[in-house]
Structure 1
Amino acid sequence: MLLRLPTSLSEAQECMAEGAVPIGGATLVWATWQRDGFPEQALSLRDLPEANAIGREALGAAVVLNRIDDQLPETLRRAASSVGTGAVRRTATVGGNIVGSTLRCLLPAALVLDARATVLEPDNVYETDLAEVLAKRHLLLGLRWREPIASAYYKEPGEAGGPPPLVVATAVHGDGDGRTRLRVAVRDGYEVLSDSAVCDADTEEVLHTLRRTAVGGLHAAAWEVVRRQVTELLARPAIR
């Protein structure tokens, strides 16, 4: 297998046009390739500057999870730190987790940040929403969002090889005219649900609004985690 490491967008697009298969951090595909056979060419974005951006409102797809630090929103930091072991986090990438994984521990965090995705095609680079990225399994270059006022992330303990543990991500954003909006995303099993509510009212009214969304239709145990996290987030001094 030839591993290609482009250093420019045009070079990466050339690799794609020639059939190179994206490898991410290789934590997910390696075992499959050992079982089913290796492709002739693989493509890694680890040397591509655009895929290695990291900042308060941007994160590249080739960034490994242990590089996600306190300059990024809390919900992303906690999501990244919850993935696998330290050894896994030193090799697993943002793009591999969101697009290549069935668990997608970072996806709820990205959804509550209302993140937009930049994707790479052999003849184009453009921005789109996460739903399109997942549906079409695009090659992700990175994510961009507006910094939230506050955010949080909770992942239930789980057993290796067991069912995916419940994940709840939340974030509060200002909308520019003095109002605030709460976003909630939940991974329940392999399904991810997300919705939002305006935060003009008190916490109970916000929860009542959420109860009328898809998130509110979760089973009782999951809703209790949502209720607790929303209550704790909206009580933070930054929201008041």
Structure 2
Amino acid sequence: MLLRLPTSVSEAQECLAEGAVPVGGATLVWATWQREGFPELAMSLRKLPQANVIGAERLGAAVLLGQMDGRVPDVLRRAAGTVGTGAVRRAATVGGNLVGSALRCLLPAALVLDARATVLESDGVRETDLAEVVAKRPLLLSLRWSAPLACAYRKLPADAGAPPPLVVASALHAGDGAGDGEGGGAGYGVRVAVRDGYEVFEGAAVTGADPEETLESLRATALGDLPAAAWAVVQPQVLDLLARER
């Protein structure tokens, strides 16, 4: 297998045109390759500057999970810190987790940040939403978002071999935060994302004087389909986040 390490977007685009298979830390594909055969040409983004940025409002796809620290929002840092073992986090990448993993442990955190994705295709670079990243699995270069006012994350414990543990992430944003124009951009908004099994549910609401009204607004979104056990985690997390608003 020949591994290409492009140092510019144009080089990465050429690699794609040549049929190179994108790899992150290869933590998810190595066993498959050993079983089914290695590709003739692969490509890693670990030398591409645009894919290695770490900041308060941007994160590169080639960043290792173990590199995520206080420079990124706490919801992302904590999500990365719960993935696998230390050895896995020293090899696995942001892009590999979001695009290549069935669990997508970073997805709830990215959703509550209302992150947008920059992706590379054979005809150039463009920006898209996370729904397309999950559905079509393009070559992810980076994520960007507006820094939240506050955020929270919780991953319940689970036994080995058991179904994926429940994950609840939330973030408080300036403006309505709901993504649908309600509230005219005034006040605050809260976004919540929950991974229940292999499915991820999300919802957003404008916050009001009564926290219970905000919870009811969230129940009117896709989050309302969650079981009571999930809401037992969502409710206190959202209430705590709203308390920071005041």
Deviation at 1:233, TM superposition (A): 1.4
Given the alignment of the two structures, is residue 41 of structure 1 paired with residue 49 of structure 2, yes or no?
no
Distance 1:201 1:92 in 2: 42
**Any idea what SS the aligned residue of 2:171 has?**
strand
* 1:22 aligned residue: 22
Given the alignment of the two structures, is residue 213 of structure 1 paired with residue 221 of structure 2, yes or no?
yes
Deviation at 1:208, TM superposition (A): 1.3
**Any idea what SS the aligned residue of 1:54 has?**
coil
Q: Which letter does structure 1 place at the counterpart of 2:139?
A: L
CA RMSD of aligned residues (A): 1.1
* 2:181 aligned residue: none
Deviation at 1:133, TM superposition (A): 1.3
Q: Deviations over 1:193-213 (max 9, x none)?
A: 111010123211111111222
* 1:224 aligned residue: 232
Distance 2:64 2:144 in 1: 17
Deviation at 1:172, TM superposition (A): 0.6
* 1:119 aligned residue: 119
Q: Deviations over 1:12-44 (max 9, x none)?
A: 111111011011110101011111111001110
Q: Which residues of 2 match residues 74-113 of structure 1 at below 5 A?
A: 74-113=74-113
Deviation at 1:175, TM superposition (A): 1.5
Distance 1:159 1:139 in 2: 33
Distance 2:77 2:164 in 1: 19
Distance 1:38 1:162 in 2: 30
Q: Deviations over 1:83-119 (max 9, x none)?
A: 0111110110000000100000100000000000000
Q: Deviations over 1:108-166 (max 9, x none)?
A: 00000000000001221010101111111100000000000000111111233321110
Q: Which letter does structure 2 place at the counterpart of 1:157?
A: P
Aligned residues: 238
Distance 1:180 1:42 in 2: 45
**Any idea what SS the aligned residue of 1:55 has?**
coil
* 1:150 aligned residue: 150
Q: Which letter does structure 1 place at the counterpart of 2:29?
A: V
**Any idea what SS the aligned residue of 1:159 has?**
coil
* 2:9 aligned residue: 9
Given the alignment of the two structures, is residue 233 of structure 1 paired with residue 221 of structure 2, yes or no?
no
Given the alignment of the two structures, is residue 204 of structure 1 paired with residue 212 of structure 2, yes or no?
yes
* 2:179 aligned residue: none
Distance 1:134 1:88 in 2: 21
Gaps of 5+ in 2: 177-184
Deviation at 1:216, TM superposition (A): 1.9
Q: Which letter does structure 1 place at the counterpart of 2:21?
A: V
Structure 1 runs of 4+ aligned residues shifted over 6 Å read: none
Q: Which letter does structure 1 place at the counterpart of 2:97?
A: N
* 2:180 aligned residue: none
Distance 1:169 1:194 in 2: 9
**Any idea what SS the aligned residue of 1:7 has?**
coil
* 1:51 aligned residue: 51
Distance 2:209 2:227 in 1: 25
Distance 1:67 1:27 in 2: 16
Distance 2:160 2:96 in 1: 19
Query: Identity of aligned pairs, percent?
Result: 70
Gaps of 5+ in 1: none
